[in-house]
Amino acid sequence: MTPEIAKGAKKVHYLSEQVLVLPDVYEPCDDTYLLVDAALNEVRPTDSVLEIGTGCGVIAKMVAERARYVIATDKNPRAVANAKLNGVEAIGGDLFAALDSRFDLIIFNPPYLPSRSDTSGDWQTQAWDGGPSGREVIVQFLSQVADHLTEKGRVLLVISSITGYKEVTKLMHAQFGIVRVIAERKFFFETLYVVLGAEATQSARQ
């Protein structure tokens, strides 16, 4: 690790793991830790795993200890470099743009907070900016995800009560035969959920 890359990096600890977080990269927070806990309970030793929007790579790094194979993506080039710095196989790309493979488990902590601005913002802003409803990125993700799942593939998606839990799970029910909350945590201003989607419908694959 060169001094130039490490400059300004912050050390973050969770469970037994330590990662470095570079400036302009989303720092692990409550939603990150809720998702990594759920992912560690869900992942299987035979799984090929994709994490979208990996940030510093802490989720992919921890899941890789239990999965057959893990790759991560992020549209923020700084985040891709950060994930690699933490030992994660990572590539640049928005959602599935850089991928043509299928995976047994796809993990996504999307930008889910409503935005009052039409501007794209800096990388930190884009990490949480889910558009006017907070669901724009989620809708894009769900419209594409079935094409990147194996026959028995599953999805883990973070949803906030601010985003509209009922609206998002309704979209997921149109895509998957199984939709259920596998983790939930209440905070002062929101409730966070990790929702499992499994058994993608035939129409979703078309």
**Residue 7 confidence (pLDDT):** 67
59 contacts 194 by C-beta, under 8 angstroms: no
**Residue 108 confidence (pLDDT):** 96
Q: Which two tokens stand for residue 158?
A: 């973070």
SS3 assignment, position 87: coil
Domain-wise residue ranges, the chain? 3-205
Q: Which two tokens stand for residue 169?
A: 């799970």
**Residue 130 confidence (pLDDT):** 44
Q: Which fold has domain 3-205?
A: Rossmann fold (3.40.50)
**Residue 1 confidence (pLDDT):** 44
Identify the helix (H) or strand (E) that includes residue 9. none
**Residue 134 confidence (pLDDT):** 56
d(CA 30, CA 47): 25
**Residue 126 confidence (pLDDT):** 55
Q: Among positive and negative, which fits the CA dihedral 112, 114, 120, 123? A: negative
**Residue 98 confidence (pLDDT):** 81
Q: Burial-class residue 2 by CB neighbours within 10 Å (0-12, 13-18, 19+).
A: exposed
pTM of the predicted structure, to 2 decimals: 0.89
Instruction: Spell out, as residue ranges, where the chain has pLDDT lower than 50.
Output: 1, 3, 130
